[in-house]
């Protein structure tokens, strides 16, 4: 028996539902099987995806927490539910790129697969109706979303996440090509890593495989109609859980 009960739906996103609970310092997140791409122009139901993303995210949040990254994560409950601290999400998507892929190669003359050294950090304004536009430093300042110190902290946390996850995935024979994170302010004003970290939000290449399509273990399999999406997420989960303790259950 868990020591909370679900309250009203607070927010429904493309891949998750967020519920209030009877505790003011606790929010419940349900990971859905819905898959979307290209700003929800492409949609599908992928049975098992929600549970895999919930588990992978839990394992990675706990790994990051052990390495000193503050997160919203508290524990899991069953296969699709994660309990988290409530945060005020900063409407900025932080992307770190270790290897050029995706929108970067569509927007700039940078060859797919080129190493980004040091890793590139890109910020986007989180608004689907605007298509998540790229944020320059001046645009971010104009929006007044973050103080310079908060922006510095946000970037520091994103680089710290990369500093933990990139070698971790490398040790599991996966290349962390790029990823997107979201952060939020806790009730006490602390900036916490939030949302999820999963093959929906990361590009991961299987370094055991040379073929450029076959090696893809992330949402690009769905975006590019490569098939085997849930199988690829399952492979990521298998490797990650082989290197991590069982995620804690929230009680």
Residue of 184, 201, 221, 240 interacting with ligand UDP (CB under 6 A): 201
Exactly one of 49, 55, 85, 203 binds ligand UDP (CB under 6 A); that residue is 203
Residues 40-79 that bind ligand UDP (CB under 6 A): none
| Closest residue by Cα to residue 78 from 58, 64, 102 | 58
36 binds ligand UDP (CB under 6 A): no
CB atoms within 10 A of CB 176: 23
Scanning 25-33, 46-54, 100-108, 109-117 for contacts with ligand UDP by CB under 6 A, the matching segment is 100-108
Q: Which stretch binds ligand UDP (CB under 6 A): 63-71, 81-89, 144-152, 197-205?
A: 197-205
- The phi, psi pair for 26, rounded to 5°, reads -140, 130
Q: How far is the CB of 202 from ligand UDP (least distance, A)?
A: 5
DSSP, res 52: H
Counting contacts by CB under 6 A, is residue 91 touching ligand UDP?
no
Task: Report the distance separating Cα 110 and Cα 112, nearest Å.
Answer: 6
Q: Which of residues 21 and 182 has its CB atom nearest to ligand UDP in the complex?
A: 182
Residues 6+ apart with CB under 8 A from 186: 72, 85, 86, 87, 192
Size of the site for ligand UDP (CB under 6 A): 14
Contact 165, 176 (CB under 8 A): yes
Q: Does 102 bind ligand UDP (CB under 6 A)?
A: yes
| Site for ligand UDP, residues 123 to 142, rule: CB under 6 A | 132
Sign of the dihedral defined by the CA atoms of residues 67, 73, 74, 76, in that order: negative
List residues binding ligand UDP (CB under 6 A).
Answer: 93, 95, 101-104, 132, 178-180, 201-203, 219
């Amino acid at each position: 028996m868990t020591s909370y009960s679900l309250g009203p739906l607070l927010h429904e996103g493309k891949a998750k539902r967020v519920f209030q609970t009877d505790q003011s310092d606790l929010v419940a997140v349900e990971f859905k099987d819905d898959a979307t791409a290209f700003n929800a122009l492409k949609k599908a139901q992928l049975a098992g995806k929600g549970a895999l993303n919930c588990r992978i995210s839990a394992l990675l949040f706990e790994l990051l927490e052990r390495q000193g990254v503050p997160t919203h994560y508290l524990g899991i409950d069953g296969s699709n539910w994660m309990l988290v601290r409530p945060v005020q999400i900063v409407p900025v998507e932080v992307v770190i790129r270790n290897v050029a892929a995706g929108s970067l190669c569509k927007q700039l003359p940078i060859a797919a697969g080129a190493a980004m050294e040091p890793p590139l950090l890109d910020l986007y304004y989180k608004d689907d109706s605007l298509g998540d536009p790229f944020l320059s430093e001046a645009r971010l300042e104009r929006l007044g979303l973050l103080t310079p110190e908060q922006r510095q902290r946000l970037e520091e946390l994103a680089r710290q996440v990369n500093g933990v996850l990139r070698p971790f995935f490398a040790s599991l024979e996966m290349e962390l090509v790029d990823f997107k994170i979201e952060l939020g302010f806790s009730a006490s004003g602390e900036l916490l890593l939030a949302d999820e970290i999963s093959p929906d939000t990361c590009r991961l290449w299987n370094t055991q495989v040379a073929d450029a399509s076959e090696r893809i273990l992330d949402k690009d399999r769905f975006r590019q109609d490569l098939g085997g999406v849930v199988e690829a997420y399952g492979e990521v989960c298998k490797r990650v859980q082989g290197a991590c303790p069982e995620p804690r259950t929230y009680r």
